[in-house]
Amino acid sequence: MRPIIIAANWKMNTTPSDAGPLASAIAAATATDDVVRVICPPYVCLAPVRDALAGTGIAVGAQDVHPLAAGAYTGEISAGMLTGLATWCIVGHSERRRDQHETDELVGRKLARCLESGLRPIWCVGEQLDEREAGRAEAVVREQVERGLVAGGMANGEWAGSVVIAYEPVWAIGTGRTARGADAAAMADAIRSALEANGWTRDAAATVPVLYGGSVTAASIGEFLAEPAIDGALVGGASLKPDEMAGIVARAATTAAARRAAAG
């Protein structure tokens, strides 16, 4: 059975002085062994969040990583720099694709760096509004998966037990538009199908958790977790609110228990 994962992406919010207390509040509000919980604060907050979460069972993730191990890249962060600070890492988030013009090939190289360095990646894929309206949503996401696999040298399924993929319908993030659970489930199926089409066995593709990442809240998470193909969420704005995170994780824990019971 795939794990249920709730990952918090704090984006460019919090400071080193307030990140630790917020992480502690979230840990206290979400205590459970049934859900994999990850908090991804800004780089400058990694150490205080790590310290605040010690012994809570919540993992720490970075929001990005450079594809190379070292070099003359002012302002960048390498995987080696994250040692002891984070064990997870977001790669290919839609905001970085938009603002830093990250390509699928670059994202694939970052994936490879994460995996080689022992960081568990949350690989973000998703389509724009015009692509969905043109009927190309699944094709776009399949292309993102294929290009990332090729660039990252991941076409043989070797890393099946380590990769997590987050489906981000970019058109539903902060726009007031909403995706439905069925939309996310269809894309999760397309993602796993794309893995199979690019060298992964069906069993390997089936082990990959797919998260939903489109303006998730405690009120909306249930619709997505009701879909067997969806295994959790990458949470943005709501992850800065302990009460919202409590509701999201509680619903995720209920889903995990139900799936475990159904699996026998």
Catalytic residues: 93, 168
Non-local (6+) Cβ contacts of 195 within 8 A are 145, 149, 157, 204, 205, 208
What's the Cα-to-Cα distance from 31 to each of 21, 53, 117, 209, rounded to whole Å?
A: 16, 11, 29, 21
* Cα 85 off chain centre by: 18
Which is nearest to 116 in space by CA: 91, 80, 148, 147? Answer: 80
Is the CA virtual torsion 44, 47, 51, 53 positive or negative? positive
The first and second tokens of residue 239, run together, are 């992850």
Q: Are 46 and 78 in contact (CB under 8 A)?
A: no
Quick count: other Cβ atoms within 10 Å of Cβ 160?
17
What's the Cα-to-Cα distance from 130 to each of 100, 135, 169, rounded to whole Å?
A: 20, 9, 11
Q: What is the DSSP letter of 60?
A: E
Determine what percent of the chain falls in helix, strand and coil, rounding each to the nearest 5: 45, 15, 40
d(CA 252, CA 7): 11
d(CA 186, CA 262): 22
Q: Give the relative orientation of helices 137-152 and 104-117 as an angle to the nearest 10 degrees.
A: 50
